[in-house]
A and B are shown apart, each in its own frame.
Chain A
Amino acid sequence: MAEDKEREEGQERPSRPSTAASRRERRGTARPAAAASTGKDVDPKTERVKAVRPAGKTDAADAKDKKGRATPSRERKAEKVSFFARIARFLREVVSELRKVIWPTRKQLITYTAVVLVFVAFMVALVSGLDLLLGKGVFWLFG
């Protein structure tokens, strides 16, 4: 936590560009300079780059931190729940999901069953017909 605070303070200190456009401009100028030049003046510039870059994200970081602070108590509560209670909860969720399932209507069920039966009957007839013929052929050939 202490480190976080320090970082936040550090982020507040340098004068931040207020608009996105100006921020982009600053970054655009700062980076090549830092990469190209060597020697004394590198240090402060890279310092500034480091300071500026997270600064752009502070809004998101703030939101995250807020969330991080709010949630722990809830998470701790969840951990305390016993194994059986968790199973019970899981089962309850299973039931609630099952309620949301769309089952086939009676008509659909009958159609699908009929289609499957016809398909299976056709295949069985085809295969057994083939087998009968082939069996006779093989018997004639080898038997």
Chain B
Amino acid sequence: MLSAFRSALATPDLRRKILFTLMIIAIYRVGATIPSPGVSYPNVKRCLENVDDQGVVQLLNLFSGGALLQLSVFALGIMPYITASIIIQLLTVVIPRFEQLKKEGQSGQGKLTQFTRYLTIALAILQATGIVAMADRGQLFGNCQDPIIPNSNIFTLIVIVVTMTAGTAIIMWFGELITERGIGNGMSLLMFINIAARIPAEGAAILDKGGVTFAVVCVFALLIIASVVFVEQGQRRIPVQYAKRMIGRRMYGGTSTYLPLKVNQAGVIPVIFASSLLYLPDLISRLVGADGAGWQNFIANYIVKQDSWVHISVYFLLIIFFTYFYITITFNVNERADEMKKFGGFIPGIRPGRPTSEYLQFVLSRITLPGSLYLGIIAVLPNFFLEVTDSGQNQNFPFGGTAVLIMVGVGLDTVKQIESQLMQRNYEGFLK
């Protein structure tokens, strides 16, 4: 494996990509530590030490790599961008014009990306306003007396909101830069970085509870990671036979390959979708302000509290829904069947064209059920182990659930991408 690392760095093209990605990550972390203008850094530091706020702010904090509670420039993290892209993708099903744009190919896709960016900015403004308002009212850190924004006139607050929004725009750009010129998917890699940033602190917190607990958690985490890897690697291979063709005097094709359908074809995206959708009600109720209305109590007691059965089941169902949804969006069976037909390929025993696409749909919908159940179970699992971690901290718990799925998914993706780049140059990769 070490030699693979060396050859990865020896390839000039790949080295540039890796270093570029690392550079973006470094800049990202710089932005995540610099406090916004007008925020009193010492006060925030003091408040952070005795923070005991539960629930969704913690989850957001996990997803923003601890930047949120520090009210840093990049406080909002990649979350608004993810939420925006979910909403746009949802809308492609609902709004005919969006669907048309999606079918239009390159230019339509560009238009959709543009909409996503605008929506990101809008969401960022909304979220930044909410967070700044909460910080100003002193709600961000449960019961902390020190004023986080000492000089809180309207101008300062607006400056903070604008800074955070601009920060989100830069993060969005970073994500796209990584996807384009670096290694891996930028959006999920930045998400991964946020989670990785929380691991040392969380690990230390668990270590404080005693060595035995820590060991148990570590073994448990290893088991979860191994099982996630196991399912991620599971493939249903649909045999595809290519017809022989004569071009000039030479014979082409006639090979038999397979179309790999992963058991978890959707990856971690459904989990991210579901969790970001679940925090919306809390965000709304916080934005409206606590006036003790019935629906706010309901949200606080059932949706935010992570050990309530409503939260668990809604989360689980959302994940299953989004798995199917995302697969329908990303894996277009008709397109695949058409492509296969175009290049003279067919599945043995099944006619090209519509029967092929029907067969693909059949297999995909069957294979996705266990995949989605697995995603749901892994994501919900830590909610049942509240005794090991603190209650309310379980989502935050980086060795279980959402975080592990993201970590393993992104890790595998990125390493595989490096691997395929190495393979192009006939180097031996990491994965023998």
Contacts and interface: CB of A to CB of B under 8 A. Distances in A.
Contacts, number: 115
Interface of B, secondary structure class, is helix
B230 A104 contact: yes
Nearest to B31: A134
B41 A112 contact: no
A113 B35 contact: no
Contact of B197 (A93, A113, A128): A128
Interface of A: 90, 93-94, 96-98, 100-104, 108-109, 111-120, 123-124, 126-128, 130-131, 134-135, 137-139, 142-143
Interface in B217-243: 222, 225-226, 229-230, 233-237
Interface of B: 1, 22, 25-26, 29-30, 33-35, 41-42, 45, 65, 192-193, 196-197, 199-200, 222, 225-226, 229-230, 233-237, 263, 362-363, 366-367, 369-370, 407-408, 411-412, 414-415, 430-432
Given A130-B25, A142-B35, 17 more contacts: A93-B362, A100-B236, A103-B230, A103-B234, A104-B229, A111-B430, A112-B412, A112-B431, A115-B1, A118-B1, A119-B414, A124-B199, A131-B197, A134-B30, A135-B33, A138-B33, A139-B45
A101 to B, nearest CB: 5
The residue in A96, A115, A143 that gathers the most chain B C-beta atoms within 10 A of its C-beta is A115
A65 B411 CA distance: 54
Contacts of A103: 230, 233-234
Contacts of B225: 113, 116-117
A72 B26 CA distance: 65
A103 B234 CA distance: 4
Contact of A142 (B42, B226, B415): B42
B236 A102 contact: yes
Nearest to A96: B366
Nearest to A119: B411
Contact of B200 (A96, A111, A124): A124
Given A94-B370, A131-B29, A111 B236 contact: no
A90 B229 CA distance: 26
The 3 lowest CB-CB distance pairs between A and B, nearest first, are A142-B41, A104-B233, A116-B411
Interface of A, secondary structure class, is helix
Contacts of B408: 116
Given A126-B22, A134-B29, A120 B411 contact: yes
A55 B317 CA distance: 54
Contacts of A135: 33
Contacts of B29: 127, 130-131, 134
B35 A119 contact: no
Contacts of B25: 126-127, 130
A86 to B, nearest CB: 13
Nearest to B362: A93
Contacts of A126: 22, 25
A113 to B, nearest CB: 5
Nearest to B368: A94
Contacts of A116: 225, 229, 407-408, 411-412, 415
A133 to B, nearest CB: 9
A127 B191 CA distance: 13
A112 B193 CA distance: 20
Contacts of B235: 101-102
5 contacts: A90-B366, A103-B230, A109-B230, A123-B192, A128-B196
Contact of A143 (B45, B193, B222): B45
A127 B325 CA distance: 34
Contact of B430 (A104, A115, A124, A128): A115
